[in-house]
Amino acid sequence: MKTTVFLGALTVAGLAAGAAGAATLDDVKARGTLNCGVSTGLVGFAAPDDNGEWSGFDVSLCRAVAAAVLGDPTAVEFVPTTGKTRFTALASGEVDMLARNTTWTFSRDVDLKFTFTGVNYYDGQGFMVPKALGVSSAKELDGATVCIQTGTTTELNLADFFRVNNMSYEPVPIETNAEAQQQFLASACDVYTTDASGLAATRATFETPGDFIILPEIISKEPLGPLVRHGDDEWGDIVTWTLNALVAAEELGVTSANAKDMASAATDNPEINRLLGTEGSLGEMLGLGNDWALMAITAGGNYGEIFEKNIGENTPIGLARGLNAQYTDGGLLYTPPFR
């Protein structure tokens, strides 16, 4: 281990140390905090408030995992990562998991050696333009200047979209969302493109959100989800099933308000009992306490609660559930059974 840490410091920011520390769960327990990679600041998904307290949709997932593993939703060290630094941070072991609007793609899963542990937001790439431009469709964007965060899947989709539609564009590559926003608001680019949820979140922070429209075309599938390093299946299972527990809790009607009551005594729904640990030993199978799901759910609520609180229609970001509704409501959220 010592040699590998030394090597890591010398060469590739400790790529090797990550491989040596395969038992992430033990590391996290020994450390007492979960290192969670998040975005550098995207309101609604992950952003620090005035007191430096992180909150948001992705942040809630980090807190839920910390609660499930350590019993404390505040035992999280948030590591802000950019589109460029995120994978190195995860591969090198600087973070235990990444919850950062990251699209699940074949090459990231297979070639970059990461394991995606589910989808917490079904998204697609969209375009935002000022209303004054008078554009109503992405097909009218020939010759436009497009601001884009570099190193993302959106960069590749954008190139494909314009090439397939025989249109030209001028890409303005930007490192972070904040810089892209500055250029876009100063009209240094006509269009800002990223995941539609990110566009909505960015627009919500504008002084006059009404002056901008998000074009109807969604040009790609962007299943966003948390990911962990390849090769540590136990840890991957924990993140997967914590996310599943939050989704299942919504489906089963377990909320942050009633979860404790439901867990105090067995209910007449056996799946709720297994989820909350009053029946069976699902928690032990994961190497956690039997109340792991209860802790995760009470940390920030079930999936629906987290959604409504951070990015839902009553927030400035105002995203409809859409694809992210439960399968019972015509959405795509469908967890494997807890049994």
Site residues for other proteins per CB under 8 A: 3-4, 7, 10-13, 15-16, 18-19, 83-84, 87-88, 91, 107-108, 111-113, 132-133, 141-145, 150-152, 155-156, 158-160, 162-163, 169-175, 179, 182-183, 186-190, 230-231
Q: Which is nearer to other proteins, 12 or 257 (CB)?
A: 12
Q: Which is nearer to other proteins, 29 or 113 (CB)?
A: 113
Q: Are 194 and 56 in contact (CB under 8 A)?
A: no
Closest distance to other proteins from the beta carbon of 173 (Å): 5
Residue 137 Ramachandran class (φ > 0 left, ψ -120 to 50 alpha, else beta): beta
DSSP-derived letter for residue 113 is -
Q: Which is nearer to other proteins, 138 or 144 (CB)?
A: 144
Q: Are 77 and 118 in contact (CB under 8 A)?
A: no
Distance CA 222, CA 297 (A): 26
Closest distance to other proteins from the beta carbon of 24 (Å): 14
Closest distance to other proteins from the beta carbon of 320 (Å): 30
Looking at this protein, which amino acid is placed at residue 201? A
Q: Which is nearer to other proteins, 71 or 151 (CB)?
A: 151
Q: Which is nearer to other proteins, 2 or 339 (CB)?
A: 2
Q: Which is nearer to other proteins, 60 or 152 (CB)?
A: 152
| 275: its two tokens | 């989820």
Q: Which is nearer to other proteins, 122 or 169 (CB)?
A: 169
Q: Exposure pattern of 238-266 as b/e (b: 16+ CB <10 Å)?
A: bbbbbbbbbbbbbbbebbbeebeebbeee
Closest distance to other proteins from the beta carbon of 138 (Å): 13
Closest distance to other proteins from the beta carbon of 28 (Å): 20
Contacts of 165 (CB under 8 A, 6+ apart): 139
Closest distance to other proteins from the beta carbon of 151 (Å): 3
| 334: its two tokens | 């469908």
Strand partners, 194: 126
Closest distance to other proteins from the beta carbon of 161 (Å): 11
Q: In whole angstroms, what separates CA 173 from the centre of its chain?
A: 22
Distance CA 298, CA 57 (A): 15
Packing angle of the helix pair 303-310, 57-70 (nearest 10 deg)? 140
